[in-house]
């Protein structure tokens, strides 16, 4: 075997999000003694996280706009993108390719690998429990079966990031499925005073939701619950951190329901940890999640959390011990539990301390060890 294992981490884009944080941590933390790390991005915009990569990571950005992947535009670049990606794979000649993409992007990646000259092991991580693996409908059927065919091309190994996702994948795919939990950075965080934030919250009790503004993140149900919360709790404010396609609907709901004084849309922020230092309660009303790094980060900061009753949250949270669980379809239940924590400091402290203690095994170090073990095991099989 050569002195270093060449590995490509590959994604369609590299903006702000949980999936992107996993890729970032993999690129930066894989052993530099064992691995020569490359990051290939299929588009040349929405790649803010590249600024956080360490100097040893080699970055390759293909000359396509992410907007080119929308609708029928993809038809015009489908073959050129496959050929260019194949060329890039041949140039790097990797031992391992690890993909982090969905549907058409995954199909492109798998075809490029198949057409390349590289003798490569392909790993593919599924970062979400939602989308089309379980949903009905013709379009979802096409998406699922496209991925099935793509992952057969190179006898790809699928990686799940939770037990629930692994069980779901085993129902749909014949590929081997491995489990590696995502990890978080346990380095101490020292909050900084921020006058802008202090002016925004104005000594109010802060409830925060950090998430993309997408349909599956369930912001509208949260806002319905919040409308009920502020009927009896006046000195409170809800911070929504993130951007996405649902922003206009969210803004409309806030305006139509007289919530402008108690809900603040902050968009994407670079000072999230500072914002969280002012937070008293963190909420997660998601309809689906993969393995929620954002949740673990809140628990690391000793924040009490309220989560929806989806599988992955049940995997991480024991109700009334290290968090509160509410019915994902009931804004009344969510409203009740937010109000309960606002008015019960002892319960907040109990949940916060138990939450902090319960996440100690989910470190970046353990995640990296899990991936390195799988990479090396697969490569040794081919020696």
pLDDT tens-digit map of 276-285: 889 999 999 9
Q: What's the Rg (C-alpha) of the chain?
A: 22
Confidence of residue 190 (pLDDT cuts 50, 70, 90): low
pTM above 0.85, yes or no: no
CB count, 10 Å around CB of 222?
28
Helix (H, G, I), strand (E, B) or coil at 345: helix
Reference 57, options 34, 31, 28; nearest CA is: 28
8 Å CB contact between 186 and 301: no
Tell me: pLDDT of 134 over 80. Answer: no
The domains of the chain, with CATH numbers, are 5-183+363-382 (3.40.50.2000), 195-358 (3.40.50.2000)
What is the rounded average pLDDT for all residues in the chain? 91
Reference 11, options 95, 127, 90, 147; nearest CA is: 127
Tell me: pLDDT of 1 over 90. Answer: no
Window from 9-18, 193-202, 224-233, 276-285 with minimum mean pLDDT: 193-202
Reference 156, options 139, 186, 133, 177; nearest CA is: 177
Tell me: pLDDT of 344 over 90. Answer: yes
CA atoms of 301 and 356, how far apart (whole Å) = 7
CA atoms of 118 and 202, how far apart (whole Å) = 58
């Amino acid at each position: 075997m050569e002195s270093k294992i060449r590995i490509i981490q590959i994604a369609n884009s590299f903006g702000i999000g949980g999936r992107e944080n996993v890729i970032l941590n993999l690129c930066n933390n894989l052993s530099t003694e064992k691995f020569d790390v490359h990051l290939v991005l299929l588009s040349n915009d929405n790649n803010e996280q590249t600024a956080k990569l360490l100097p040893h990571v080699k970055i390759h950005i293909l000359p396509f706009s992410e907007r080119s992947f929308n609708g029928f535009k993809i038809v015009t670049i489908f073959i050129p993108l496959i050929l260019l990606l194949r060329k890039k794979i041949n140039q790097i000649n990797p031992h391992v390719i690890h993909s982090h993409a969905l549907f058409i992007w995954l199909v492109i990646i798998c075809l490029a690998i198949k057409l390349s000259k590289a003798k490569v092991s392909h790993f593919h991580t599924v970062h979400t429990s939602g989308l089309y693996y379980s949903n009905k409908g013709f379009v979802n059927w096409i998406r699922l079966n496209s991925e099935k065919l793509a992952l057969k091309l190179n006898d790809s190994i699928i990686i799940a990031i939770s037990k629930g996702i692994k069980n779901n994948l085993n129902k749909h795919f014949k590929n081997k499925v491995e489990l590696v939990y995502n990890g978080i950075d346990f380095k101490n965080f020292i909050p900084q005073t921020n006058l802008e934030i202090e002016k925004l919250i104005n000594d109010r009790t802060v409830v925060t939701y950090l998430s993309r503004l997408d349909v599956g993140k369930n912001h509208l149900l949260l806002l319905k619950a919040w409308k009920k919360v502020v009927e009896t709790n006046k000195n409170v404010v809800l911070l929504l951190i993130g951007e996405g396609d649902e922003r206009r609907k969210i803004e409309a709901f806030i305006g139509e329901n007289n919530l402008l004084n108690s809900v603040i849309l902050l968009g994407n922020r670079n000072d999230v940890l500072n914002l969280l230092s002012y937070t008293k309660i963190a909420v997660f009303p998601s309809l689906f999640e993969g393995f929620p790094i954002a949740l673990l980060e809140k628990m690391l900061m000793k924040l009490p959390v309220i989560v929806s009753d989806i599988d992955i949250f049940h995997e991480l949270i024991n109700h009334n011990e290290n968090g509160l669980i509410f019915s994902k379809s009931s804004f009344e239940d969510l409203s009740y539990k937010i109000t309960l924590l606002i008015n019960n400091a002892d319960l907040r402290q109990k949940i916060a301390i138990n939450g902090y203690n319960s996440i100690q095994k989910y470190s970046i170090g353990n995640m990296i060890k899990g991936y390195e073990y799988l990479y090396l095991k697969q490569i040794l099989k081919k020696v």
